[in-house]
């Protein structure tokens, strides 16, 4: 395991930026210096100042010291506004690759800014207002429907005008939580809806740009692989400054144990565990449709494909939700340059990538540690390869 020196982390924390252009330039320079091949996938929409918006995929082959067919995938910015954090972790790891033998040993795939539009504009959602982590529906699952309880909350979640500085959203949601319980409200509001195109957590009416690109290209990026470990970097859920590995609810217990064995210092969470232990300290329990992770598992991109949402906590869930709601209302109903829109973007940025240097130091240190642990697991010749699970 690597322990990044405190002063180095301090410097990384100061260097972290939420600016897309700066983040992208640093990532590309770091990937190039580390010897990666870089593929850029621009989207049609331009960003502020007419800048090109693209997802960059950097790929580096292993140095031959690990068994063939071992791959680590590290992705950032699926939820655009979280990208500044994920990008900083990716760049910091690439810049340290010389001192990380396991990372050099295996094939590594670095997906930078899966949602470049959201990253550049400080939004969670993409250019079609799609939440990309609700868009990966499996074959046969129609882009249709809303979660239980959604209809009741929809008028509250999707205001018809920008929210003022003070509104009663927090209070009213707290009332809903008292009425229906936290899990029910969380499921209803964030589980993913396929009806209101200007709403929150909209999963789309069809596969998004990013979804289609993954379908076309992901197998090539990963290459022929026996064991792939995918860490998808996120922020905004869980205790302040704490990294957690969130596994898909359908993974088998043996897989949960394998993650725990390697990532002992990080909580490894599945909804099953939460249900069984009752009082487990998790901020919310909700199930979602259209996760990228579940899709990746079902696609069988490798013989043994393991995916975790590597999630770093910031603020309380209702506070985060209120910020998403306000930004979404301003995005759809106010001028981009209006004070209401600017205020809502600043607020969202703080909710997902807090300015606190202490938070930044902590999450950067844990992010680097998680990547080193993932690489060590992928590179280990003794790591058992599990057969693909049966399709449901």
Quick check: helix, strand or coil at residue 92?
helix
Kindly tell me which of 100 and 214 has the beta carbon lying closer to Zn ion.
214
Kindly tell me which of 82 and 349 has the beta carbon lying closer to Zn ion.
82
Compute the distance between CA of residue 214 and CA of residue 217 in angstroms, rounded to an integer.
5
| Binding piece for Zn ion, criterion CB under 5 A, among 64-72, 77-85, 99-107, 239-247 | 77-85
Kindly tell me which of 201 and 259 has the beta carbon lying closer to Zn ion.
201
Task: In angstroms, give the least distance from the CB of 108 to Zn ion.
Answer: 21
Task: In angstroms, give the least distance from the CB of 120 to Zn ion.
Answer: 16
Neighbours of 172 (CB within 10 A): 12
Cα Rg, the chain, nearest whole Å: 20
> By CB under 5 A, is residue 294 in contact with Zn ion?
no
> By CB under 5 A, is residue 104 in contact with Zn ion?
no
> By CB under 5 A, is residue 134 in contact with Zn ion?
no
Task: In angstroms, give the least distance from the CB of 225 to Zn ion.
Answer: 25
CA-closest candidate to residue 190, choices 272, 141, 247, 133? 133
Q: Which residues, including other chains, have CB under 8 Å from residue 384's CB and lie 6 or more apart? A: 258
Site residues (CB under 5 A) for Zn ion, limited to 302-321: none
| Binding piece for Zn ion, criterion CB under 5 A, among 64-72, 229-237, 327-335, 377-385 | 229-237
DSSP string, 125-136: S-TTS--GGG--
Kindly tell me which of 234 and 361 has the beta carbon lying closer to Zn ion.
234
Residue 161 per-residue DSSP state = S
> By CB under 5 A, is residue 234 in contact with Zn ion?
yes
Task: In angstroms, give the least distance from the CB of 41 to Zn ion.
Answer: 20
Applying CB under 5 A, the site for Zn ion has a residue count of 3
Tokens of 118: 């959201």
Task: In angstroms, give the least distance from the CB of 322 to Zn ion.
Answer: 17
Query: E strands of the chain, at which residues?
Result: 37-46, 52-60, 70-75, 107-112, 227-240, 243-246, 268-269, 304-313
Task: In angstroms, give the least distance from the CB of 286 to Zn ion.
Answer: 13
* Residue 226 φ/ψ, nearest 5 degrees: -85, -50
> By CB under 5 A, is residue 79 in contact with Zn ion?
yes
| Binding piece for Zn ion, criterion CB under 5 A, among 21-29, 78-86, 176-184, 377-385 | 78-86
Quick check: helix, strand or coil at residue 351?
helix
Edge-first strand order for the sheet with 304-313 is 37-46, 52-60, 107-112, 70-75, 227-240, 304-313, 243-246, 268-269
| Binding piece for Zn ion, criterion CB under 5 A, among 166-174, 227-235, 244-252, 268-276 | 227-235
Compute the distance between CA of residue 292 and CA of residue 309 in angstroms, rounded to an integer.
9
Task: In angstroms, give the least distance from the CB of 351 to Zn ion.
Answer: 11
| Binding piece for Zn ion, criterion CB under 5 A, among 58-66, 73-81, 159-167, 286-294 | 73-81
Kindly tell me which of 70 and 234 has the beta carbon lying closer to Zn ion.
234
**Burial category of 115 from C-beta neighbours within 10 Å (exposed 0-12, middle 13-18, buried 19 and up):** buried
Kindly tell me which of 330 and 353 has the beta carbon lying closer to Zn ion.
353
Instruction: Give buried/exposed letters for 363-389 (b at 16+ CB in 10 A, else e).
Output: bbbbbbbbbbbbbbbbbbeebeeeeeb
Kindly tell me which of 263 and 292 has the beta carbon lying closer to Zn ion.
292
Compute the distance between CA of residue 280 and CA of residue 271 in angstroms, rounded to an integer.
10
User: 351-390 mask for Zn ion (x: CB under 5 A)?
Assistant: ----------------------------------------
| Binding piece for Zn ion, criterion CB under 5 A, among 207-215, 228-236, 340-348, 354-362 | 228-236
For the chain, what's the residue count? 392
Task: In angstroms, give the least distance from the CB of 261 to Zn ion.
Answer: 26
| Binding piece for Zn ion, criterion CB under 5 A, among 164-172, 226-234, 270-278, 343-351 | 226-234
Task: In angstroms, give the least distance from the CB of 126 to Zn ion.
Answer: 12
The residues binding Zn ion (CB under 5 A) are 79, 82, 234
């Amino acid at each position: 395991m690597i322990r990044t020196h405190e002063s180095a982390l301090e410097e990384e924390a100061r260097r972290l930026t939420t600016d897309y252009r700066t983040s992208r330039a640093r990532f590309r320079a770091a990937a190039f210096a580390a010897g990666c091949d870089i593929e850029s996938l621009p989207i049609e929409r331009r960003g502020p100042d007419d800048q090109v918006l693209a997802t960059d995929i950097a790929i580096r082959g292993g140095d031959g010291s690990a068994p063939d067919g071992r791959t680590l995938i590290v992705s950032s910015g699926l939820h655009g506004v979280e990208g500044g954090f994920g990008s900083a972790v990716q760049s910091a790891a690439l810049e340290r690759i010389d001192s990380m033998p396991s990372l050099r040993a295996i094939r590594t795939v670095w997906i930078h800014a899966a949602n470049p539009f959201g990253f550049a504009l400080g939004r969670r959602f993409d250019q079609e207002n799609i939440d990309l982590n609700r868009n990966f529906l499996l074959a046969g699952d129609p882009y249709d429907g809303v979660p239980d309880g959604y209809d009741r909350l929809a008028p509250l979640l999707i205001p018809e005008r920008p929210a003022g500085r003070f509104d009663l959203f927090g209070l009213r949601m707290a009332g809903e939580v008292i009425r229906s319980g936290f899990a029910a409200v969380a499921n209803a509001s964030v589980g993913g809806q396929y009806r209101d195109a200007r709403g929150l957590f909209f999963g789309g009416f069809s596969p998004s740009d990013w979804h289609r690109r993954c379908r076309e290209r992901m197998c090539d990026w990963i290459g022929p692989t026996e064991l792939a470990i995918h860490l998808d970097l996120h922020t905004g859920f869980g205790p302040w400054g704490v990294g957690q590995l969130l596994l898909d609810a359908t993974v088998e217990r043996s897989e949960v144990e394998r993650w725990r064995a390697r990532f002992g210092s990080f909580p490894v969470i599945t909804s099953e565990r939460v249900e069984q232990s009752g009082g487990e300290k998790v901020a919310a329990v909700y199930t979602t449709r259209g996760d990228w992770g579940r899709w990746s598992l079902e696609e069988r991109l490798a013989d043994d494909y393991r995916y975790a949402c590597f999630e770093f906590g910031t603020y309380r869930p209702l506070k985060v939700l209120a910020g998403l709601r306000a930004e979404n209302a301003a995005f759809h109903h106010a001028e981009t340059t209006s004070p209401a829109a600017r205020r809502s973007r600043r607020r969202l940025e703080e909710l997902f990538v807090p300015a606190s240097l202490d938070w930044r130091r902590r999450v950067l240190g844990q992010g680097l540690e998680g990547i080193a642990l993932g690489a060590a697991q992928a590179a280990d010749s003794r790591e058992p390869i599990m057969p693909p699970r049966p399709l449901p």
